[in-house]
Amino acid sequence: MNWSPFDAAELQALWLSLKVSAAALAMTFVPAVALGWILARKRFRGRILVETIVMLPLVVPPVVVGYLLLIFFGRRGFAGRLLKECIDLDVAFTWLGAALAAAVVGFPLFVRSVRIGFSAMDARLEGMARTLGAGRLRTFLAVSLPLCLPAIVSGAVLSFARGFGEFGATIMIAGNIAGRTQTVPLAVYSAMESPGGLDRAWRLVIISIVIAAAAMLVSEWLSMQSRHGQKRVTNSSC
């Protein structure tokens, strides 16, 4: 592998991190869009409670999130036992556990972005679609979703990036098993501890920064697009 500055173990960590983040995104996409829409559109009892619970992983130490996940999804945890018995699936100390950790910490960012997107959209456009004969589903798919697509993609990118960098919760539920659950951040930690691992740490740090910066740029650009679009709409309707 002359073309690559990374050795096999580093590439493995990188690949695992991408896989974990992508799986986390797949898990959270539908619930995040749905919850974002509900929080933007619906007024119901206990809304603040729901919002608080959803946003909690943003402020709670990731280690705490990981601990709770381990209690719940571990071999003796309620969900862990259920999954093992029903579909013979291990979550704790597998890459799925890392994906679950990434999903939980990325979820609030995703929901937040989607909610802001739906709030910024003129809800009366949905009413207008209904008077034109579109039912709830067609209204959502043909009007709400396309209009909020920039916000949704931006939320997805942010939560992907957050999942990519996840450390505390991951090490709790998935451990730090090289080649199996050792994502890039865990690999950096391990490299720092092993003698002569500084070069490896540097390479992984740089690739992490590049991926995170790219995600932020994409997210910013999309939210700019979205704001620009909304502004043009309101301007010309005056």
- In the complex, which residues of this chain contact other proteins (CB under 8 A)? 122, 124-125, 127-135, 142-143, 146-147, 229, 232-233, 236-238
Q: Considering the complex, state which of residue 177 and residue 233 has its C-beta at the smaller distance from other proteins.
A: 233
**Distance in angstroms (rounded) separating the CA atoms of residues 184 and 43:** 41
Q: Considering the complex, state which of residue 41 and residue 84 has its C-beta at the smaller distance from other proteins.
A: 41
Minimum CB–partner distance for residue 67 and other proteins (Å): 44
Q: Considering the complex, state which of residue 4 and residue 237 has its C-beta at the smaller distance from other proteins.
A: 237
Minimum CB–partner distance for residue 127 and other proteins (Å): 5
Q: What is the dihedral of CA 135, 138, 143, 148, to 10 degrees?
A: 120
Minimum CB–partner distance for residue 11 and other proteins (Å): 41
Q: Considering the complex, state which of residue 14 and residue 147 has its C-beta at the smaller distance from other proteins.
A: 147
Residue listed under structure tokens 């996940």 = 69
Q: Considering the complex, state which of residue 63 and residue 142 has its C-beta at the smaller distance from other proteins.
A: 142
Q: Considering the complex, state which of residue 94 and residue 230 has its C-beta at the smaller distance from other proteins.
A: 230
Minimum CB–partner distance for residue 49 and other proteins (Å): 23
Q: Are 147 and 125 in contact (CB under 8 A)?
A: yes
Q: Considering the complex, state which of residue 2 and residue 237 has its C-beta at the smaller distance from other proteins.
A: 237
Minimum CB–partner distance for residue 123 and other proteins (Å): 10
Minimum CB–partner distance for residue 87 and other proteins (Å): 40
Q: Phi and psi of 74, rounded to 5°?
A: -65, 175
Q: In the 3-class helix/strand/coil scheme, how is the chain assigned residue by residue? A: CCCCCCCHHHHHHHHHHHHHHHHHHHHHHHHHHHHHHHHHHCCCCCHHHHHHHHHHHHHCCHHHHHHHHHHHHCCCCHHHHHHHHHHCCCCCCCHHHHHHHHHHHHHHHHHHHHHHHHHHCCCHHHHHHHHCCCCHHHHHHHHHHHHHHHHHHHHHHHHHHHHHCCCHHHHHHCCCCCCCCCCHHHHHHHHHHCCCCHHHHHHHHHHHHHHHHHHHHHHHHHHHHHHHHHHHHHHHHC
Minimum CB–partner distance for residue 117 and other proteins (Å): 13
